[in-house]
A = this chain, B = another copy of it.
Amino acid sequence: MKKIEAIIRLSRFERVRDALAAIDIRFFTMTEVKGFGLQKGEHLTYRGSSYDADYIPRLQLEIVCPGEQVEEIVATLIAAARTGEVGDGKILVVDVEQMTRIRTGETGIEAL
């Protein structure tokens, strides 16, 4: 069981959601996060001072899946989330030791 964590652009969310649905990924969790870094955030002004927001608002998706599905999901995410411009984001894969469905107590693949 693996957990895929993808950090994507706000503006690509609908595309990614639909692409995931198309390959039958039925559940995922989303968190609003802030991406800090050299990328420089939005260029803003306020009362005459202009500044770069030091972060860009981003979305982090977490998808738990069987190991063998990782490749397909990552490929799907890349296809849907990519603009080709700097700032498209990253995808991590982390190992999950155990997954349990709260409703039934099932673990492993059945819990998905």
- Do residues B97 and A82 form an inter-chain contact, with CB atoms below 8 A? no
Majority secondary structure, A binding face: strand
A contact residues, total (Cβ < 8 Å)? 54
Nearest CB in chain B to that of A38: its residue: B26
Q: Does A51 count as interface, using CB distance less than 8 angstroms?
A: no
Contact of A31 among B33, B94, B111 (CB under 8 A): B33
Q: Does A48 count as interface, using CB distance less than 8 angstroms?
A: no
**Given A89-B103, A94-B96, 8 other A-B residues pairs in contact with their CB atoms under 8 A:** A6-B102, A74-B98, A77-B102, A78-B100, A86-B103, A90-B101, A91-B99, A92-B96
Interface set of A (CB-CB < 8 Å, partner B) = 2-3, 6-8, 17, 26-39, 54-55, 58, 60, 64, 70, 74, 77-78, 81-103, 105, 111
